[in-house]
Structure formats: C-alpha cells, structure tokens
Amino acid sequence: MSEILILGGRVVDPASGLDAERDVLLRDGRVAAVEAPGTLKGVAAAETVDAAGCVVAPGFVDVHVHLREPGQTYKESIATGTAAAAAGGFTTVVAMPNTVPVNDSVAGLEWMLDAARGSVVKLLTMPAATMGSMGMELTDFTALRKAGAVGFTDDGKPVLEDDAMRVALATAARLGVPVSQHAEDTRLTGGCSMNAGPVAFRLGLRGMTVEAEARIVERDIRLLREIEKAEGLKPHLHVQHVSTARAMEAIRAAKREGLHVTCEVAPHHFTLTDEAVGDYDTHAKMNPPLRAEVDRAAMVAGLMDGTADCIATDHAPHAAHEKEQEFERAPNGITGLETALGLALRVLHRGQGMTLARVVELMSVNPARAISLDGRGTLRAGSYADVVVFDPAAEWNFHAKDSRSKSRNTPFDRAAMVGRVRTTICEGRIVFRG
Ligand SMILES: [Zn+2]
C-alpha cells in the first residue's frame, strides 16, 4: 500500500466546489480523503508533502501536445516530453497524430501507449481523422476508439473538405468523442509564415488572414447544425488553438445556440502579439500565428467569460538547427508545457484578476471534460491521485536551458513567470519535485 499525505495546502477543486485549506490523503493511486487541516494527522503515510502556502489542485490536462515519437525523436520523445509535462504540473497529455508515420492505425496507437515508451504521466492520443492526415479517407474510428482514442484530428492541417468533415463529425458523435479541428483554410494561407498585418508588411512576409481561421470555424459550426437536424446526433466540435477575435465570436454564438462546441487557447496567443516576431525571430513562429492586439485581447476575454474552455499548450518541439533558418523556411511551433502555468497566472490571474479556481478549471476540469476523462480533473475521493501542488505567488524566470524537453524553441526564454510547480503526482506516484 502506498500513501502520500499532502498537508496544509489550499485545495482548489472546482468540480466539487471546494476552495479551502485541506489535507489530502492519496492511497494506492487514488484520492482517499480530503479533510479539514489536522484531521488526518494520525495517518502514517509513506511520504508527506508540505503544501503550506501552495495550491493543491487536480493535475493539469493538456489536450494538445506534440511528442514527436515515433519518427522525430531528435526533437522530443514520449519520455522527455512527458517529463516536461510533469514539470509543468500536467498529469495527462493528449498526443497529436502528426508523427512519422502519422498515427492513423490501431498498431501505431498501441505502440505509442506502450509502457516501454516511458511516459511519466497519463498519455492519451488523438489519432488522425483521415488516413495519413491527407483529408480523403477516414481512419477506422470505431477500432481506434476501442483502442483508446479520445478524439480525432488531422492537427497541423485542417479537415478541409465539407464532406470529409461532415462524416468525421457524425462518426465521432456516435462514438461519443470530439473531432478536434485545426481551423485553417489552407487555400488562403499558401506561402504565409506569420499573421497578416503591419508587422508582416514591414518584414516583407506573406500573412495569414483572420478569415483563414474564421471561415473553417464558421463552416464547422454550420456542419454541426446540419448534422443535428438531419441525423438527430449531437456532434462535438473541439476547435484547437483559437487565435482570432472573429473565430472566438463564432464559438460564443454557437454555444449560445446550444451546439456542442468546445475550444482551447494556447498561452502564447493570450500573452503575445505578432510584434514578438520582431526581426524575423523564428521562436515567435507558430501556426496559427501570433496575432494583433485586438485578437490577443479577445483570447483573454474568451478565457474570462467562459467561451474558451481550456488552456492547451500546443507544445511543439523543434531542434535548434531547424529554427536557425530563414523565417519562411523554419518550422512552426514552440515548446509550452513548462511555461503554461507561469503565463496563465501572470497574464490572467495577476494581470486580469482571474480567480485561481477559474485557472484550474481551464487547465484541469474543462480539458478533462472535453475528452470525457473519467475520474480525472477533480480531487473528489475515489478519483485518480493526479495532483499538482503549486506556489501561486512565486515569481521566477523561465530558462529554456533548464527545460526537461529535448528542444529549446521558445519565445519565453528568461521571461517572467508567476506561480511555480512544486510537486506533481500522477496516479499516486511523485513524477516531479521542484
Ligand atoms: Zn494545429
């Protein structure tokens, strides 16, 4: 029997409406008890965690990470990527399918989930929606779901064709999982490497317009409506890394209408604008790109008012030699697992007055719900012992060189962070100690 006792912390568990000082007992991988301070004193646990001054919350869930294994383990591996996740307070991550080869088969999915890959947190996958993420032939949703798929996506690319997306949404609805959409009308973004706007003009780069994102979001919402009417299904669309005010507004309206839409916002999209591209800084290059201030502000507003459901990192490691190229040739993406909490607390909690409970909702409860995770995203007795202990007031600077990730491609090297992870526990095992 293995026991951990977490003493003297402020338990923030929005799923059970709790925000108070409590001691927490974990036993055999589950939450055994959450009690008033002192009540559990007699328990002789194998390990005690002193959480004085800290928040004790359900471990974070990231529904959007790229772990690069199989095929690109010079950038990241499942072992190193999940170690970075643990350092960032995440106890569950959902790996995107744009590996090499693309994760579009049961055999591929099972290989990734094999314990031999060395994941230190709960690893889940969203396999490709179409074979090879080519946008044509759907993958075997039923078999993949049976093997553990928590949704389907061609992330990195959109499911562009109306018919393919319609069938994907309807098929996923019958299996009770979402289709996660990378909303980019690639017919409008060929040769584009950043946001369309004054910075792109100054740098002489082709820019991606707001319309390229919004048009796909609006099209997908229309498909939800059509499928509901025609087939009596309730399909679930999850919009990945929303970056524009117009897309956020479309999602707000769709939710009001009662359609099943959820969405995520990446920390860089609520923290930075395209000004960060500066003088062709490839560490500020990602897709969707950093946008204008009006869009950044709309991301914050969406996170504040409940339109946005989740914070997801879109952790996308790349090797130094890949980012050290001219801007248009460098690959899209930045790492994000170890800076998500520090940015959320700096920008949203301290900067905008977002409550700690809402931050936990965005990072634990809602992402767990978006993929229907049972027994995670809460500290209710009986749930998995997935816990993050963090100091919400700690001020520090992130140093990319200290990252657990294999890659260092971040615009947040040396950036100020608020809030620091002290301990991460996944299914009753301590997987990170700060
Ligand atoms: Zn994407």
What pLDDT is recorded for position 1? 62
- Which helix (H) or strand (E) is 343 found in, with range? helix 340-343
Q: How far is the CA of 3 from the centre of ligand 1 (A)?
A: 39
pLDDT level of residue 434 (50, 70, 90 thresholds): very high
pLDDT level of residue 414 (50, 70, 90 thresholds): very high
Q: How far is the CA of 287 from the centre of ligand 1 (A)?
A: 6
64-73 pLDDT tens trace: 999 999 999 9
In order, the DSSP letters of 55-79 are EEEEPEEEEEE---TTT-TTT--HH
What superfamily would CATH give domain 59-377? Metal-dependent hydrolases (3.20.20.140)
What pLDDT is recorded for position 193? 98
Q: What are phi and psi of 305, to 5 degrees?
A: -95, 0
Q: Establish whether 23 is a catalytic residue.
A: no
pTM of the model: 0.98
* Rounded Cα gap, residues 235 and 173, in angstroms: 5
Q: How far is the CA of 429 from the centre of ligand 1 (A)?
A: 31
Q: How far is the CA of 184 from the centre of ligand 1 (A)?
A: 9
pLDDT level of residue 153 (50, 70, 90 thresholds): very high
Q: How far is the CA of 61 from the centre of ligand 1 (A)?
A: 17
159-213 pLDDT tens trace: 999 999 999 999 999 999 999 999 999 999 999 999 999 999 999 999 999 999 9
pLDDT of residue 388 exceeding 80, the answer is: yes
Residue 190, SS3? Answer: coil
* Rounded Cα gap, residues 37 and 431, in angstroms: 25
What pLDDT is recorded for position 44? 79
Q: Which of 46-50, 319-323, 408-412 has the lowest mean pLDDT?
A: 46-50
Q: How far is the CA of 346 from the centre of ligand 1 (A)?
A: 24
What is the pLDDT averaged over residues 363-384?
97
Nearest of 352, 359, 340, 194 to residue 279 by alpha carbon: 194
pLDDT level of residue 365 (50, 70, 90 thresholds): very high
pLDDT of residue 229 exceeding 90, the answer is: yes
What pLDDT is recorded for position 360? 98
Identified catalytic residue from 314, 386, 391, 413: 314
Q: How far is the CA of 155 from the centre of ligand 1 (A)?
A: 5
87-111 pLDDT tens trace: 999 999 999 999 999 999 999 999 9
Contacting residues for 143 by C-beta, under 8 A, at least 6 apart: 106
Q: How far is the CA of 49 from the centre of ligand 1 (A)?
A: 37
Q: How far is the CA of 168 from the centre of ligand 1 (A)?
A: 17
The separation between the first and the last C-alpha atoms of the chain, rounded to the nearest angstrom, is: 25
Q: How far is the CA of 128 from the centre of ligand 1 (A)?
A: 12
pLDDT of residue 299 exceeding 90, the answer is: yes
pLDDT level of residue 46 (50, 70, 90 thresholds): confident
Nearest of 118, 88, 124, 113 to residue 432 by alpha carbon: 88
Q: How far is the CA of 288 from the centre of ligand 1 (A)?
A: 7
Nearest of 121, 122, 84 to residue 421 by alpha carbon: 84
Q: How far is the CA of 224 from the centre of ligand 1 (A)?
A: 20
